[in-house]
Amino acid sequence: MAMERGSKSRILVIGATGTLGRELVRASLAAGHPTFALVREPAFSDPQKSLLLRSFAADGVTLLKGSLQDFPSLLEAVKQVDVVICAVPSKQTLDQKLLIRAIKEAGCIKRFVPSEFGADPNKVQILGMDHGHYKEKIEIRRCIENEGIPYTYISCNFLMRYLLPSLVQPGLNTPPRDEIKIFGDGNVKAVSLMDVDVATFTICTIDDPRTLNMVLYLRPPGNVYSMNELVEMWEMKSGKILEKVYIPEEQLLRIIHETPFPGNRDFIFIYSAFIKGDHTYFSIDSSGLDGSKLYPHVKYTTVSEYLDSLL
């Protein structure tokens, strides 16, 4: 299915009703791409999802029925587009294998963006602790590369809606009022981005030859902070000093070890980001491309701006 010269790629979003998925659909539309969404049958009868799907259709999205478990529907959907972006939850990571088969068979896809949207699985230092979270993402990368499918991997580290609303306090939904736990020495920097900004950066890569078969790292300067810096920023904004309780690495590892999965999941990712430094310990230039340098026009919400919204 050849594209006309100068025309925008047709994009299929899988997982379009999810929090990130819907932002990918909107960013694709905003950039002028013909946009398709693969939607499971039950979503059409779900009150909230059907409302979202109606708004998509009104905006010009082509809705296709199908699922990652249904090969004929995948093949039919993939044949109608140039690019596939998958944004399913991590528990469905390995479900992308059938999609990879469909992409291979269709033979028309010029780029696949698999469902990663986190820390780079090839860079994390917690393999074996994370109950297969990153191992499965590595397995999908291997499948894509073995099949010779053109790809772009998006490494955005944390989404702001995860951990930041509580200032990295597992079990809380809002910032603490009196006392705050700081993991490790509090000086290791992690990265957080808004879903909408991750989606915008992702769509920028679609027709950009520079990002083909590359990892795009999203590490904008205004989104890289240590726990000490987060707390200091929050104290300045809220005008309230918090009592700091430092949780050393050994104590955090003990909590991880003694808390059954998935109850320890947040602690595992905190250990990865704020103690091991899995978001920031390596230089981007040696591993891939820096999204904020590649697309300096993208206006993103900084951590400071996000914290203002919590006040």
Q: What is the DSSP string of 262-277?
A: TTTHHHHHHIIIIIS-
pLDDT tens per residue, range 121-143: 999 999 999 999 999 999 999 99
Q: State yes or no: is 110 an active-site residue.
A: no
Give the per-residue pLDDT at 3.
46
Whether 4 has a pLDDT exceeding 60, the answer reads no
> In the structure, what pLDDT confidence band is assigned to residue 6 with cuts at 50, 70 and 90?
low
DSSP 47-86: HHHHHHHHHHHHTT-EEEE--TT-HHHHHHHHTT-SEEEE
pTM of the model: 0.97
Whether 34 has a pLDDT exceeding 70, the answer reads yes
Select from 160, 186, 170 the least CA-distant residue to 247: 186
Residue of 137, 181, 189, 276 with catalytic role: 137
Whether 255 has a pLDDT exceeding 60, the answer reads yes
Q: Which of 6-10, 54-58, 149-153, 267-271 is least confident?
A: 6-10
The residue written with tokens 């004929």 in the block is 72
